[in-house]
Structure 1
Amino acid sequence: MAETGEGPPLVLLHGGGPGASGVSNYARNIAALAKEYRVVVPDLPGYGPSSKGIDRADPFGEVADRIRGLLDRLGLDKAHFIGNSLGGACALRLPGHPRPGRPDDPHGPRRPRRHPRAAHPRTQQPARLLHGEGAFTAEAGEVHPQHQDSIDPEVVAAPPLKRPKSLKTLWKMDATRDARLSRLPVPTLVLWGAADKVNKPSGGPMLADRMPNCDLYMVADTGHWVQFERAELFNRLCADFLAGRG
């Protein structure tokens, strides 16, 4: 886990692509956001040095439960959240929603936590994640750090996420279709790349229609990693939204 800056706590939850990590997903955002916030960047379960193994029947709920535990260990009663892809889906599960099929959270009700939600990476291929030319560059022969992490023997032995076996499974896992979102009062900002090739851009309006207190910004000519491809815009929008600056 990385931590920097001072101010209200802001937790950055990374995406679920093979080899993903908090610092690599938010390499272009951490320093800018740390000017106003105490930025906490964990590696989610199954990624980086975090413990391996995750409940694939409900990965969003599993990660949300563990992030609640992290907040308890840090002594944080509430926090802002930015979630990218898998991290965004988990952030939507944090404001008091128990996991499906479970009794009420044994830890009791929790205060709602504000969280903007970004676009969704689920694969390690930069060409698919990014849209604009020049958004990703690497020296000839350079191994992208996310790919290097994805071939770690522990990750290969216990991949945190596997491709769903059927569209029915994918439908159940898709956080944009969680009926409980219609009861979520937490102010939320959705940023979605209009040229996203990993998750259909129609997911952005779907969230905005379902959630009662949601702002939507469709980012033109941008792919799956809004926070990387349009870092300056992403940083400004998130910081202003969290501070209530319009």
Structure 2
Amino acid sequence: MTTPPALPVMQETTYDVNGKKIFVAETGDGPALLLLHGGGPGASGVSNYVRNIGALAKEYRVIVPDLPGYGRSTKGIDGSDPFGYLAGHIRGLLDGLGLDKAHLVGNSYGASCALRLALDTPGRVDRMVLMGPGGIGTTRALPAPGLNSLLDYYKGEGPSRLKLEKFIRNYLVFNAAEVPDSAIEERYRASIDPDVIAAPPLTRPSGPGAARTVWRMDFTRDPRLKRLPVPTLVMWGAADRVNRPSGGRMLAARMPDCDLYVAANTGHWVQFERAALFNRMCADFLGGHR
């Protein structure tokens, strides 16, 4: 099991964005870089990027928010348009930080947030790195096994440590031994916060508007994708069991300025399992070195 590097000292601030509280940790100097975390149970910004923050902070001002619904940010999101809701709040966070433009790095749910923000307001995004984003061909096939596990976490008998451990070890990573027990425990405790249980941030669309919500969450049906000018690097684990790796080829085929890297023997957490590779490629790409 790999021991994660020690985190640098980080400044912690809570911003008021559209009447919601968004918690942010930041460190480093240089061009602004937002790291947007995934949507699994108990996720948070710093825990998602524990193996990347220190390395990227050598060249960038690294800003790590807890997305709405997660961590120390206000719970609850608009389930009828979750990607748009997240993107609107991160755009509001940019305003609160006094940033006209920033680099965005997103993992899974965070990558979907980044892509939606770029589609809605491309002028606010400098460069973008997306890792296994959700919403790529979602209306064209049944959900992958890992995504089903994620969406059902709060269903049935409700959340449990065993369900969370199975989700993380079986679906998020290629090598289950990479994830320490302490990380499982930390995420489980966060996942059973009463406010989270009352309003889970990522669930299966249901009700009269479900079909419209699913359609809205499929980026490959958005005509703006073919005109998006933001230089983008897509990184995908070849063994991803949450969001299918074929999504990477879909994005590369549609976006006019998109590089694609598929990492062998890697699951959904490219930034965690292949940290050295990710940190090097991310820093180089955001710096304009392809």
TM-score, normalised to structure 1, is: 0.88
Match of 1:184 among 224, 228, 237: 228
Match of 1:113 among 110, 126, 129: 126
Q: Distance in 2 between the 1:2 and 1:134 partners?
A: 28
Give SS of 1:62's match. Answer: helix
Match of 1:66 among 62, 82, 89: 89
Q: Does 1:240 align with 2:240?
A: no
Cα contact 1:176–1:203 (8 A) shared by 2: no
Q: Does 1:84 align with 2:135?
A: no
Match of 2:30 among 1, 4, 7: 7
Where does structure 1 lack aligned partners over 5 or more consecutive residues? 99-108
RMSD: 2.0
Give SS of 1:81's match. Answer: strand
Q: Distance in 1 between the 2:117 and 2:110 partners?
A: 11
1:159 matched residue in structure 2? 200
Cα contact 1:96–1:110 (8 A) shared by 2: no
State which drifts further: 130-139 or 152-161: 130-139
Of all paired residues, the percent bearing the same amino acid is: 63
Q: Distance in 2 between the 1:188 and 1:230 partners?
A: 19
State which drifts further: 87-96 or 27-36: 87-96
Give SS of 1:170's match. Answer: helix
State which drifts further: 125-134 or 228-237: 125-134
How much does 1:164 deviate? 2.7
Q: Distance in 1 between the 2:116 and 2:133 partners?
A: 16
Q: 1:183 to 1:34 in 2, by over 3 A?
A: same
Match of 2:179 among 114, 136, 144: 136
Q: Give every structure 1 segment of 4 or more consecutive aligned residues whose post-TM-superposition deviation is greater than 6 Å.
A: none
Q: Which structure has greater strand proportion? A: 2
> What are the superposed Cα offsets for residues 171-204 of structure 1, whole Å, 9 maximum, x if unpaired?
4313344321111010000000100011111001
Q: 1:201 to 1:92 in 2, by over 3 A?
A: same
How much does 1:132 deviate? 2.6
Greater RCO, CA 8 A, separation 6+: 1
One-letter identity of the residue aligned with 1:88: A
Give SS of 2:83's match. Answer: helix
Q: Which structure has greater helix proportion? A: 2
> What are the superposed Cα offsets for residues 198-227 of structure 1, whole Å, 9 maximum, x if unpaired?
111100100111100000000111101111
Alignment size in residue pairs = 234
Cα contact 1:94–1:113 (8 A) shared by 2: no
Q: Distance in 1 between the 2:180 and 2:286 partners?
A: 31
TM-score, normalised to structure 2, is: 0.76
